[in-house]
Structure 1
Amino acid sequence: MEQQKLPNATLILVFGILSIVTCCCYGVIGLIFGIVSLVLANKAIALYKANPELYTDASNVKTGRILAIIGIVLSVLALIYYIGIIAYFGMDTIQDQQLMQEKLEELLGQ
């Protein structure tokens, strides 16, 4: 029987890369890409383990899975950072540039 590519192997790799690239977009977009990539990778790995002689591109799936995990961790850290900034300064302060400048000067002791 002829070997074929694992389903979504390239998509998993691309989504893993996008999860890292977009982790700074408030953490949400990178988190979505990372989770989707991780779910697809787990399905592809299970399919590969069932019949390893039928499929190729297992390395792309493994690489995409690792990138997705890194992207999820970075996105969660970014999300925690942004939530912490909002909790510390408050939404009103963040939206008002003058008030934000005053709070930063107060924080830095100037």
Structure 2
Amino acid sequence: MKKIRDAQTIIGMLEGGELAAALSGDITETLTKLKDLSDTMGRKAKVKGKVTLTLDFEVEAGSVNVLAGIDTKVPKAQRGSSFYWITDDGSLSTEHPQQTDMFSGPRSAAQQS
């Protein structure tokens, strides 16, 4: 009777070795994404991610069925912001709605008496 007690061996055997390959791929992908995020955020920025392996065991009549799951978490890339003014009708404007445009050309001068 061959006994398997080592976690590395068990994980390596699950799903005919495909689980270990998928786990390795997810770890590499997560680290690549974290490095890319860190590079865009600056030298001292901390970026955290997580790869979780879950093993569910189902025992029945002296046998066990192992169901595995891999979950990865990586923060979303930070996006820039854009500033606009809101007009009275709810539109966006790049110009302050209460200021006149001094570059739009000459305006007619009103005659004062």
Fold agreement, TM-score > 0.5: no
The structure whose residues are more often helix, as a share, is 1
Higher relative contact order (CA 8 A, sep 6+): 1
TM, length-normalised to structure 1: 0.35
The structure whose residues are more often strand, as a share, is 2
TM, length-normalised to structure 2: 0.35
